[in-house]
Structure 1
């Protein structure tokens, strides 16, 4: 099965040590990060994810690890 571009971006970001996590609440997606990121992961996110259209950014964000809510 071929990976989507969004999945590849998310996996590479995480491989570089990125710490962002996705929170989904009532179909609203937001990103959380509690600690500084490695410079390489931060640069990757800024270069490859932030320039994307909002709907494409959301696709990438949905491949990040989630924050579980009780």
Structure 2
């Protein structure tokens, strides 16, 4: 079975305690965070996700919990 790298990145970020939520508005993806991330999650986001191309970053964000589900 082939693994999904974007899903794995999102899962690891959440496992580290990340709090970002997916915000989708007019098919544009972004994240919002009302609580600061733990240092491990913040570093992971900065080093492994923020550095991705917009398309790949959007892919990762699509696996985060959605603000619409909260």
TM-score, normalising length: structure 2: 0.92
- TM-aligned CA deviation for residue 2 of structure 1: 3.0
Give 1 or 2: higher helix fraction.
Answer: 2
Which runs of 5 or more residues in structure 1 are unaligned?
none
Paired residues, what number? 69
Spell out the pairing of 1:27-66 with structure 2 (5 A cutoff).
27-66=27-66
Runs of 4+ in 1 over 4 A off after TM superposition: none
Corresponding residue of 2:14 = 14
TM-score, normalising length: structure 1: 0.92
RMSD, aligned α-carbons: 1.2
Corresponding residue of 1:67 = 67
Which runs of 5 or more residues in structure 2 are unaligned?
none
